[in-house]
Amino acid sequence: MSRGDFSSEDVNRSNRVVSHSSLPSELYDQPLSFAYGKPSARAQIRTHDADFQVVEDLGYEPSGEGEHYFLWVEKEGLNTEFVAEDIARRANVQRKSVSYAGMKDRHAITRQWFSVHLPGKTELTEALFEDASYQVLSRSRHLKKLHTGSLHGNHFKLVLREFQGDRGEFEQRLEQVRNDGFPNYFGEQRFGFNGGNLELAQAMLLGEKRVRNRHKRGLYLSAMRSWLFNWVLHARVNDQCWNKPVLGDLLSLDGSGSNFPYLSPQESDDVEGRVQQGVIHPTGPLWGEPSYHPLFKAGRLEADCLKPFESLMLALESFGLSVSRRSLRAIPRDMAWRWLDDDVVELSFYLPKGSYATSLMRELF
């Protein structure tokens, strides 16, 4: 997400499909649907890096012993990969010895953990980072390395400036998002600059481009799987069932990776109540070799909206990826806001891992 004026059109433009012969032409410029209607408010975001703050939550603290050195880092105006490479250089280790749980925004002030594989008695002293362009706030050892995705979530604090719109309507939307959540779309970051990773993913999957770099290959596969998920979620939003169970759905327990099927109409009262309470959520596919599918009405809905992309789905399966499920809905925790001035509002919230602040924000601006 770039600095400057923030509106729904900006986010939608990034989430559109790039043109390719494998996709129906009517989908090229199809924006993703809104849960609560297209918002009318506008605001400036990231006027300063300090207007967008992120604090990572691993869900645990380093144990204090082990062969992996954990660094709690605050960065501003830097991407996560740059910091990882710089840590590897200063620690005199290979880049693969440094890991992190998730990428964080560049144009922001962010705090996150990095781990460095340092067996033996080697220490990373404070002096090693005295002239670094980021701050190492604390250091500790741990028994295991950080793996991608091994976090609980992130705390966000945003300052939105030059607000234009009806404050009453805006606060009503804030209440809706706080109470009922928002569509758990993958954000535009997932698809590369101007959706370029999607174009490269299609070329790779259809045999038009060979990608030898393993990291890039993974990025492209993730981009395509994410777009297919977004398209299913888009269809569910249109049908007003993104936050409601449909018979045959695979449902996920909040905060857990486990899924279970909703197979019997006799369960409807119990299932609908638990979904309304935010205990369980409907899911959509991250495509790969199918081991299970939604059934009945949910299965038909999913199959119908994915039918135009069968060639891409088969290609994803050929890469040996296993299908998994992702919640269609995200519910922010501890969401609060306050007006710092007549046209300046501060917004804070906590999102589970894998959910995007940009996807929450698109429901507001």
- CA 47 to chain CA centroid, Å, is 23
CA distance 357 to 85: 26
Are 302 and 293 in contact by the 8 Å Cβ rule? The answer is yes
DSSP annotation of 291 reads S
- On the CB side of 150, CA atoms within 13 Å amount to 13
Q: Reduce the DSSP state of residue 54 to 3 states and report it.
A: strand
The span from the CA of 229 to the CA of 325, in Å, is 9
Cβ neighbours for 172, distance < 8 A, ≥ 6 positions apart: none
280 strand-pairing partners: 253
Of 224, 185, 189, 187, nearest in space to 311 by CA: 224
Choosing from 105, 249, 254, 334, which is the catalytic residue?
Answer: 105
- CA dist., res. 207 & res. 318, Å (int): 12
**Is 269 one of the catalytic residues?**
no
Task: Give catalytic residues, as residue numbers.
Answer: 105
